[in-house]
Structure 1
Amino acid sequence: MTSVDAGVSVLRQEWLPAGYRCRSATTADAAALHHLVAAYERALHGRPLTGAGQLAAELPGPGPRPEADALLVHDGTGGPVGYCWVKGRRAGVVVHPGHQGRGLGGGLLDWAEARARQAGSDRLALTVSDADRAAIALLRAGGYSRLVTEWLLEIALPHEPDVPEPPAGITVRPFRPGDEQAVYRLTEDAFAEWQPRRKTYAEWARHNVERPTFLPAASPVAFAGDQMVGAVLSLDGPGDGEGDDGGRAEGYVERVAVRRDHRGRGIARTLLHEAFLAFHRRGRPACTLWTHSGTGALALYERIGMTVRHSSTVHCKALVTG
């Protein structure tokens, strides 16, 4: 039995209501899961927020991946109606709005906790939209507490934005092939202050520069001499093209990072405006990005004209072993 099979059998499917089955999910399920997640997000927010490329990057490939397991619940037609993934101390649970209230969310949450324990994690965190009151109630009943708040920010781009001059001694240019390792080190160093572990280069690349929607033209990098000190990594819209709701795709900033000893100089502001300009020239009506309360960056984004579209909260629970 593989580790993934062992993870699926933790609950032996006995928790599932009649007519439902579950199995491991892999990258082959990305398109079907994208429709599931889009339906969930459309019910909450009126539009999908998560692109197919992002889902594919989160899913494990074929074969055992105990550190990145995913479970799919399907109904009698074979279509996915529930989805759960676990990576170390993080997890996510989604249930189709037409199948909520049947115990699927609670069962998937129990499975996520069991998989996290199997992987040796001592706690588990899930990010849930503040609009999903049922999920919040489920987490509170399960012993989860609020950890940090996350915000999806947006800026409309009806006109070509002005780009401020870089600070003295700083040069800015678009991302080029060969920048990958330097940007990897810079962004992982910056995010080490908030993320629980440092990603390997392969994992980082799969979530950033190797995604089909990665847009070098909207991913400026900053240098002090020959030293990279800042970077913005952008994707051509979380909808991976035309939006699922029929709207035009938006620009999306995946990462903003400035080396600690160069912060407070306006480098991030210049890089973000360069990205906004690139998206405007591609005909994108707006640009979005996520940030959370642990970074302290909300005020920066609001100063450059971004506003909050949606908010989510990270809920965390200590896992009891044995």
Structure 2
Amino acid sequence: MPAPLPLSTGFSERPLTLADAGAVTRVMAANELATIGEVHIEEADIVADWQRPSFDVGATTVGVLAPTGELVGYAECSGGARADAAVHPDHWGRGIGTALAAWISARAAELGEPVIGMPVPQGSPGDRLLESLGWFPRWESWVLALPEDAVIPVRDLPDAYAIRAATAQDHEQVWTVIEDAFLEWSEREREPFADWVATVVERPGAEPWNIRVVTGPDGAVVAAAVLVMTEDGREGYVSKLATRKDQRNRGLAQALLADAFGAARAHGATRATLSTDSRTGALDLYRHVGMEVESTWIHRATRP
């Protein structure tokens, strides 16, 4: 494990457990509120990610505790080239962020990762800190929202194609379509099916109708979307959207996007969102259907 963090007197560190998900969420939420003016993170996001069978929470996380025992900072090497970290704004300026960045780099080196990075809001204190530490930008990403009064034009599906909620029997096909599509541009290993189940199907609060699919003439899944509803039910977030390579340019993605947002509204959501990054080339597609950029993020990375 990396060397102990250089912390101010009275502060301490320890590995985290799944029971710390709520405390980590509170730190990340306070950080988001201070940097972008709103909170996106939910405890279900942390639980879903940390309950992956491949993820060893204790071995790949560290928490910083204030003298009161309250968690005020955390970092993780999430798997592959992914990392994340946050410091409660009440404790900015104590060197905690710098220490956590060094921990991420050291732990990634121990894990044999040639590069490790994480997203930070563009121009935020976190962005400026990582830049000052020599972390370089790899790509940009954007959070987009559909205005409440906007409707995505529904594209008619080709003959013999259908759109519906996925069944349990579809799950492996959905995983395959999504992974095949994302691995065309993403520099990572294929996500194990069991990890996909843990983060999507078994995510706290997930419902079967949250996974939407388009089937082709032979009944096979040819496009898929994963919808995440916020805890208060007011927002539907499309976390994944993919079309099988041999089925593109048929309007399937747009039809699926309209279906997913329509399903969210039918279940009470008044807000529809998604995110994309510069590796996908999909930003113009989402703008074309009326979505608007709400925030821009920079994926900053370092070579351990």
Mapped pair 1:230 → 2:215: no
> 1:4 corresponds to which residue?
none
Q: Quick one: structure 1 residues 234 and 66, their matched pair in 2 at CA, closer, same or farther if it must change by over 3 Å?
A: closer
The one-letter amino acid paired with 1:122 is P
- Check the 8 A contact 1:60/1:69 in 2, yes or no: no
Deviation at 1:64, TM superposition (A): 8.7
- Check the 8 A contact 2:61/2:75 in 1, yes or no: yes
- For residues 62 and 184 of structure 1, the distance between their equivalents in structure 2, rounded to whole angstroms, comes to 16
Mapped pair 1:312 → 2:297: yes
Deviations 1:197-228 (A, max 9, x none): 10111111112121123343243201112221
Mapped pair 1:209 → 2:201: yes
Deviations 1:41-81 (A, max 9, x none): 11122221112111112336899928971111111221111
> 1:190 corresponds to which residue?
181
> 1:265 corresponds to which residue?
250
> 1:174 corresponds to which residue?
165
Mapped pair 1:288 → 2:288: no
- Check the 8 A contact 1:251/1:287 in 2, yes or no: yes
- For residues 54 and 254 of structure 2, the distance between their equivalents in structure 1, rounded to whole angstroms, comes to 43
The one-letter amino acid paired with 1:94 is A
- For residues 88 and 153 of structure 2, the distance between their equivalents in structure 1, rounded to whole angstroms, comes to 42
Deviation at 1:318, TM superposition (A): 2.1
> 1:125 corresponds to which residue?
117
Deviations 1:148-201 (A, max 9, x none): 100001113347766332133421111122211111111111111233110111
Q: Secondary structure at the match of 2:272?
A: strand
Q: Quick one: structure 1 residues 313 and 58, their matched pair in 2 at CA, closer, same or farther if it must change by over 3 Å?
A: same
Q: Quick one: structure 1 residues 281 and 60, their matched pair in 2 at CA, closer, same or farther if it must change by over 3 Å?
A: closer
Deviations 1:6-41 (A, max 9, x none): x2xx2224x011121111112111111111111111
Structure 1 spans left out of the alignment, 5+ residues: 1-6, 243-247
What TM-score do you get using the length of structure 2 for normalisation? 0.92
What TM-score do you get using the length of structure 1 for normalisation? 0.87
Q: Quick one: structure 1 residues 95 and 160, their matched pair in 2 at CA, closer, same or farther if it must change by over 3 Å?
A: same
The one-letter amino acid paired with 1:279 is A
Deviation at 1:252, TM superposition (A): 0.9
Mapped pair 1:47 → 2:59: no
- For residues 222 and 104 of structure 2, the distance between their equivalents in structure 1, rounded to whole angstroms, comes to 38
- For residues 68 and 158 of structure 1, the distance between their equivalents in structure 2, rounded to whole angstroms, comes to 46
Deviation at 1:124, TM superposition (A): 1.2
> 2:237 corresponds to which residue?
252
The one-letter amino acid paired with 2:60 is D
- For residues 51 and 39 of structure 2, the distance between their equivalents in structure 1, rounded to whole angstroms, comes to 22
Deviations 1:80-137 (A, max 9, x none): 11010102322111000110111000000101111000001111112111141x2222
Percent identity, aligned pairs only? 32
Q: Quick one: structure 1 residues 152 and 145, their matched pair in 2 at CA, closer, same or farther if it must change by over 3 Å?
A: same
The one-letter amino acid paired with 1:224 is G
> 1:300 corresponds to which residue?
285
- For residues 63 and 229 of structure 1, the distance between their equivalents in structure 2, rounded to whole angstroms, comes to 27
- Check the 8 A contact 1:36/1:96 in 2, yes or no: yes
Structure 2 spans left out of the alignment, 5+ residues: none
